[in-house]
């Protein structure tokens, strides 16, 4: 019996009390535009329905582009960035749906009828990107090594992210390590010791031409803030890449900057301690001569710091410079303090000593923050510097917001209670600014209880004081201590890996101070050229890789023995299903059990 068309079905439809069509916003707001019967069959894992639909010439590359299939943060309007999180974000093509649900047989069947894993959806994502988003580790191996059309690992989406880079951005450590192993080229093996080369084109922080790339794996890992991103730092490949960069150029640059910063701070301290109260341009003897010499050298060093920062700004651009500054906040503060120090020169010749003192009061303590940059790169102090940063940005920032709201509320009440009182000795609440300062002192436990008897309403003032002490010193301060305790515990539990991340950020900041030519030369020192078909790329330089020697869990003989055993088991299942199909005289495709399929995946490692 031929299938009826939509028009024929609608003409036969009769609405009654049992068949009543009602528009419902909750359903229609799903907007599953473009979804076909094939998509539904794939999601449900129904191979028979897929085979039937394809026999009726359904489009195997039909795209589902409705709101229902979008990432949650892209519904309503498109944003520049996305985390790809959604209830049903499986891409647009039926093949991507099959991959995201790990339906191996349906994936193979669609491939045989024109589906292509390298087709890109509206976000530029291929099947490999979608497998990364849904974190299907085993299926990634299967798609990359598929016998019909292997997935292309070099295709980038509209955010300029390859599947490897996307795994780093989303924090997928397991699939990330699998990607590295699949890209490796084995040079030699001795028992369970292997020597392999890992391509660094999409791994290193700079591209083959020496230009900083913000979408490479290492940069995206350093930008991540989750525990999963920390786990990605523990791999042998990342560790050796950082070690090679440290030995090649970063260690030398690190200690040069440390000596430079130490010299700057020593000279600045001498200039401050020999500074007179007034008459900065007057010469009174040898001590002023020493001060002038130190001030001149400090100004020269400040000019050098600003010129190097201007060079970084020119090489990285405004966006790259700001991002690089966020990786080294203490160094950024030091650069700003150098600028404030140089601004003191015109103020001195203009004899604006008060303005000069104001700038120096900010510049001198701020300059010492540069030592935090070096402390972050050391094993002993690195985790504690991380704690300070996280507490300031997270715990203290949230506390200050709530604290200002509370102080603003109580300041007005205390101000009116003590306004125009007869006792002239009480000056702590004479105006709004003094009231706020006094409330801050009360937060720290410094207050005069006797003053409250002089307020307009002493009983009300005392009640208000009790409420203030309960809410702020007791409640808020203890909440701050508890939040800081949680931050401390979270950092100290992963102290070593936290230090490695901060150490890696230090290396990346030092790296960006070199020219493109120097970075190319450094990369050639710690990497070797590789020749592998299909990886030539657009760069004029040949692709390069990082040679890593490591111990594997199994020897080649053990792997071969396990693979042979699995294939025998797999072959028995095939023979069994062939016999069943011959008995039933059916031409349906064979369905391999999920366990067997996963065994096959492991053999491909």
Q: 205-227 pLDDT, tens per residue? A: 888 888 888 889 999 999 888 88
User: Do residue 362 and residue 395 come from a single domain?
Assistant: no
Please tell me the predicted confidence (pLDDT) of residue 327.
83
User: Do residue 391 and residue 479 come from a single domain?
Assistant: yes
Please tell me the predicted confidence (pLDDT) of residue 341.
94
State which residues form the domain around 455: 385-512
Q: List the CATH number of the domain containing 426.
A: 1.10.287
Q: Dihedral sign for Cα 547, 550, 554, 557, please.
A: positive
**597 pLDDT exceeds 90?**
no
User: Do residue 422 and residue 357 come from a single domain?
Assistant: no
User: Do residue 33 and residue 155 come from a single domain?
Assistant: yes
User: Do residue 440 and residue 301 come from a single domain?
Assistant: no
Which pLDDT band holds residue 142 (cuts at 50, 70, 90)?
A: very high
- Token representation of residue 404: 């200002």
**153, 183, 213 - which closes a domain:** 183
Residue 577 lies in a domain: no
Give 433-478 pLDDT, tens digit per residue. Answer: 888 888 888 888 777 777 777 777 888 888 888 888 888 888 888 8
Please tell me the predicted confidence (pLDDT) of residue 135.
92
d(CA 171, CA 109): 31
CA dist 479 → 87, 341, 385, 442, 443 (Å)? 35, 39, 22, 17, 14
| In the block, residue with structure tokens 């985390």 | 83
Which of 203-217, 270-284, 540-554, 569-583 is the least confident region?
569-583
What pTM does this model have?
Answer: 0.77
Give the HSE-up count for residue 90: Cα atoms under 13 Å, Cβ half-sphere.
22
**557 pLDDT exceeds 60?**
yes
**480, 512, 544 - which closes a domain:** 512
d(CA 577, CA 125): 36
| Residue 300 bridge partners (DSSP) | none
**16 pLDDT exceeds 70?**
no
d(CA 228, CA 386): 17
Give 170-194 pLDDT, tens digit per residue. Answer: 999 999 999 999 999 888 888 778 8
**265 pLDDT exceeds 80?**
yes
Which pLDDT band holds residue 335 (cuts at 50, 70, 90)?
A: very high
Q: Chain-centre distance of CA 446, in angstroms? A: 43
Which of 71-80, 139-148, 308-317, 506-515 is the least confident region?
71-80
Cβ neighbourhood burial of 434 (10 Å; 0-12, 13-18, 19+): middle
User: Could you tell me what percentage of the chain is helix, strand and coil, using 3-state DSSP and rounding each to the nearest 5?
Assistant: 60, 5, 35
Query: Which range has the top average pLDDT, 294-308, 398-412, 415-429, 489-503?
Result: 294-308
**469, 495, 512 - which closes a domain:** 512
User: Do residue 428 and residue 464 come from a single domain?
Assistant: yes
Query: Residue 194: which H helix or E strand, with range?
Result: strand 193-199
Give 74-126 pLDDT, tens digit per residue. Answer: 776 667 788 888 877 888 899 999 999 999 989 999 999 989 999 998 889 99
Q: 164-194 burial string, b = 16+ CB within 10 Å, else e?
A: bbbbbbbbbbebbbbbbeebbeeeeeeeeeb
Cβ neighbourhood burial of 121 (10 Å; 0-12, 13-18, 19+): buried
User: Do residue 348 and residue 407 come from a single domain?
Assistant: no
Q: Dihedral sign for Cα 552, 555, 558, 560, please.
A: positive
Residue 2 lies in a domain: no
- Token representation of residue 19: 């068949």
Q: What is the mean pLDDT of residues 195-210?
A: 88
**25 pLDDT exceeds 80?**
no
Q: List the CATH number of the domain containing 164.
A: 1.25.40.20
Which pLDDT band holds residue 585 (cuts at 50, 70, 90)?
A: confident
**Higher model confidence: residue 532 or residue 74?**
74
Query: Residue 529: which H helix or E strand, with range?
Result: strand 528-529
- Token representation of residue 44: 């449900």
Please tell me the predicted confidence (pLDDT) of residue 536.
44
Please tell me the predicted confidence (pLDDT) of residue 30.
46
Residue 224 lies in a domain: no
Strands across the sheet containing 193-199: 185-190, 193-199, 544-551, 528-529
User: Do residue 501 and residue 391 come from a single domain?
Assistant: yes
Quick count: other Cβ atoms within 10 Å of Cβ 482? Answer: 11
User: Do residue 369 and residue 400 come from a single domain?
Assistant: no
d(CA 362, CA 356): 10
User: Do residue 122 and residue 262 come from a single domain?
Assistant: no
Residue 424 lies in a domain: yes
Please tell me the predicted confidence (pLDDT) of residue 554.
66
Q: What is the DSSP string of 300-315?
A: HHHHHHHHHHHHHHHH
User: Do residue 247 and residue 293 come from a single domain?
Assistant: yes
Residue 432 lies in a domain: yes
For the chain, how many structural domains are there in total? 3
Contact 305, 338 (CB under 8 A): yes
Please tell me the predicted confidence (pLDDT) of residue 26.
34
Which pLDDT band holds residue 423 (cuts at 50, 70, 90)?
A: low
Residue 372 lies in a domain: yes
Give 225-242 pLDDT, tens digit per residue. Answer: 888 898 888 888 999 999
**593 pLDDT exceeds 80?**
no
Residue 193 lies in a domain: no
Identify the DSSP state of 5: P
Residue 508 lies in a domain: yes
Please tell me the predicted confidence (pLDDT) of residue 2.
57
**28 pLDDT exceeds 50?**
no
Q: Chain-centre distance of CA 354, in angstroms? A: 44
User: Do residue 401 and residue 328 come from a single domain?
Assistant: no
Mean pLDDT taken over the chain: 83
């Amino acid at each position: 019996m031929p299938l009826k068309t939509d028009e024929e079905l609608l003409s036969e439809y009769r609405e009654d009390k049992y068949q009543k069509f009602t528009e419902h916003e909750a359903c229609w707001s799903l907007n599953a535009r473009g979804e076909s019967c094939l998509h539904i069959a794939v999601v449900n894992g129904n191979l028979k329905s897929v085979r039937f639909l394809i026999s009726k010439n359904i489009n195997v590359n039909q795209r589902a582009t409705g709101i229902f299939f979008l990432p949650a943060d892209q519904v309503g309007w498109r944003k520049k960035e996305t985390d790809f999180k959604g209830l049903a974000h499986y891409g647009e093509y039926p093949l991507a749906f099959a991959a995201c649900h790990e339906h191996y047989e349906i994936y193979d069947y669609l491939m045989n009828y024109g589906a292509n894993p390298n087709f890109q959806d509206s976000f530029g994502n291929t099947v490999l990107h979608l497998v990364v988003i849904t974190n299907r580790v085993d299926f990634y191996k299967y798609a990359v090594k598929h016998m019909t059309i292997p997935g292309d690992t070099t295709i980038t989406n509209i955010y300029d992210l390859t599947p490897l880079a996307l795994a780093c951005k989303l924090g997928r450590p397991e699939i990330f390590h699998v990607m590295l192993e699949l890209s490796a080229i084995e040079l030699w093996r001795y028992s369970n010791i292997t020597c392999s080369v890992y391509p660094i084109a999409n791994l290193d922080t700079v591209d083959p031409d020496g230009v900083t790339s913000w979408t490479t794996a290492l940069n995206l890992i350093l930008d991540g803030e989750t525990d999963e991103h920390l786990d990605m730092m523990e791999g042998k490949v990342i560790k050796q890449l950082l070690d090679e960069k440290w030995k090649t150029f970063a260690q030398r640059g690190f200690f040069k900057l440390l000596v430079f910063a130490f010299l700057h701070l020593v000279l600045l301290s001498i200039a401050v301690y020999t500074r007179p109260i007034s008459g900065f341009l007057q010469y009174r003897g040898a001590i002023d001569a020493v001060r002038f010499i130190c001030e001149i050298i400090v100004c020269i060093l400040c000019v050098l710091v600003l010129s190097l920062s201007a060079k970084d700004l020119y090489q990285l651009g405004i966006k790259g410079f700001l991002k690089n500054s966020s990786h080294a906040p203490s160094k950024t503060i030091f650069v700003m303090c150098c600028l404030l120090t140089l601004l003191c020169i015109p103020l001195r010749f203009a004899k604006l000593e008060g303005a000069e003192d104001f700038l120096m009061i900010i510049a001198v303590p701020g300059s010492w923050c540069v030592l935090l940059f070096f402390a972050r790169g050391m094993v002993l102090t690195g985790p504690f510097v991380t704690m300070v940063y996280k507490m300031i940005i997270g715990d203290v920032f949230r506390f200050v917001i709530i604290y200002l709201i509370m102080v603003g509320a109580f300041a007005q009440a205390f101000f009116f209670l003590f306004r125009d009182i007869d006792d002239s000795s009480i000056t702590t609440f004479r105006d709004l600014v003094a009231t706020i300062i006094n409330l801050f002192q009360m937060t720290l436990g410094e207050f005069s209880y006797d003053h409250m008897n002089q307020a307009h309403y002493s009983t009300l003032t005392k009640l208000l004081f009790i409420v203030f002490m309960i809410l702020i010193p007791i409640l808020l301060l203890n909440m701050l201590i508890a939040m800081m305790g949680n931050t401390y515990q979270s950092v100290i539990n992963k102290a070593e890996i936290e230090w490695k991340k901060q150490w890696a950020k230090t290396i990346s900041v030092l790296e960006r101070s070199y020219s493109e030519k120097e970075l190319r030369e450094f990369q050639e020192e710690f990497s070797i050229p590789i020749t592998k078909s299909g990886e030539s790329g657009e760069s004029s330089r040949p692709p390069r890789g990082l040679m890593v020697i490591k111990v594997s869990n199994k020897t080649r003989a053990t792997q071969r023995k396990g693979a042979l055993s699995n294939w025998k088991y797999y072959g028995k299942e095939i023979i069994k299903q062939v016999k069943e199909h011959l008995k039933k005289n059916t031409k349906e495709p064979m369905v391999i059990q999920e366990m067997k399929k996963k065994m096959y995946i492991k053999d491909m490692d």
